[in-house]
Amino acid sequence: MRPIREELRDPVNRADLDEVYHRLEGSLQAGTSSRSWLLPITAATAVAAIALVVWAVWPAPDPGSVQIVATGAPLEHVEGAAEPVRLSDGSSLELERGTRLSAVENGEARVSLLMSPGRSTFDIEPNGPRAWTIDAGPFAVDVLGTRFTVERADHRGRVSVDRGRVRVRGEIVPGGFVFLGAGEHIELTFGDEERAPDEHTSPAPATATEEPGAPEAPSTPEASEPRPRPAAPEAESWEALAARGAYGPAYSAVEADFDAELERAESVEQLFALADTARLSGHPARARGPLERITLEHPNDRRAGVAAFTLGKIEMAIPGRAAEAERWLSRSLELGLSPSLADAARRRLTAL
């Protein structure tokens, strides 16, 4: 027996849910349980409008944010300069000319920065309360207290660690992530899949090596004990491999028939499975097909926005495709995203 709801239109839309989410976050931050349904809607709207005006004209800095010592302003946007940028928590940033950093998040528990192509050295105060993330497009660096340098060029990236330990992650990092200790670095290549289609069968495009003369890295299972990739059972389908997160073997299994599988796939789930298999095995360019089909053939599905957002991220990682990235990020906002993803999309658009 088919449920009646299948014959009906959806009673709530994305905008309704976003509005509830914002009210919810406000209530949680105020720390009080809401009984808003007892209040007239007009009163709630008036209060929200007043709060918005007050917030807009009187933006008090977040007391938990990191600030630039020289200006006292919260860390929001920094451009390369001759002098290091010193921060209120004792950390400092050295940016080469032309390099830009934009804060996606700057709070008491987390600082997330988007980094443009260029070179930056980060000296993060050890044992600080915040988790730092540097998003360099095709790869990101998660860090606690440490000193490290990130370089991002057209088709390559490099992360080297002077002190402490970081995690480098991203679709182009084989296995999804790698830990680096003091004296270690990793070199990554990306964005040339269109020019070099054979790369899909090439060895991993990343290497991590020890700096000559550098102090010995701490011995940790993640950093120093390479583990073999588990061999995929022959009988296992690419879907089964992908479903359990073995994207590398899944891609190997589907690679030859990728286009045929793409043609056969109809549902959003099948298309996302193909996209994830390509993207998370280090072949983001091949994820374009299934993701584009989701946005074109399933625009009313709530995941269509996520597909467009992912396309935007993929294009952002490829030099010279900023216009495509902007188009997909804008499209993701039109299709609808969760509040947190929408915020991330807007930040990325600003950073482009």
Partner 1 sequence: MHPAPRKLDQEPLSDEDLVGRAADGDRWARGVLYDRHASALAGTVARTLGHHDTALDLVHDAFLYAFEHLGDLRDPSRFRGWLFQIALSRTRTWLRRQRIRRAIGFVSSIEDSTLEMLSGPDASPEARAELRAIDRALRRLSVDERLAWALRRVEGCSMGEVASHCGWSLSTAKRRYNSADRRMTAILARGGAER
Range 202-231, binding partner 1 (CB under 8 A): 204, 206, 208-210, 217, 221-230
In the complex with partner 1, which residue's Cβ is closer, 94 or 283? 283
In the complex with partner 1, which residue's Cβ is closer, 21 or 55? 21
In the complex with partner 1, which residue's Cβ is closer, 86 or 169? 169
CA–CA dist 244, 179 (Å, integer):
23
- Cβ neighbours, 10 Å, residue 52: 10
x/- map, 56-95, partner 1, by CB under 8 A: ----------------------------------------
Helix 288-297 × helix 304-316 angle, to 10°: 140
Mark 202-221 as b/e (b = at least 16 C-beta within 10 Å). Answer: eeebbebebeeeeeebeeee
In the complex with partner 1, which residue's Cβ is closer, 93 or 275? 275
CA–CA dist 238, 243 (Å, integer):
8
Residue with tokens 């010279």: 320
Range 3-32, binding partner 1 (CB under 8 A): 3-12, 16-17, 19-21, 23-25, 27-28
The Cα diameter of the chain in Å comes to: 72
Return the DSSP state at 266.
-
Give the dihedral of Cα atoms 165, 190, 210, 86; nearest 10 deg. -40
By residue count, the chain amounts to 352
In the complex with partner 1, which residue's Cβ is closer, 37 or 58? 37
Helix 247-254 × helix 268-280 angle, to 10°: 110
**Minimum separation from the CB atom of position 69 to partner 1 (A):** 27
Identify the residue among 74, 128, 175, 319 touching partner 1 (CB under 8 A).
Answer: 175
**169 near partner 1, judged by CB under 8 A:** yes
Binding site for partner 1 (CB under 8 A): 1-12, 16-17, 19-21, 23-25, 27-28, 33-37, 41, 109, 169, 173-180, 184, 186, 204, 206, 208-210, 217, 221-230, 245, 247-248, 276, 280, 302, 338-340
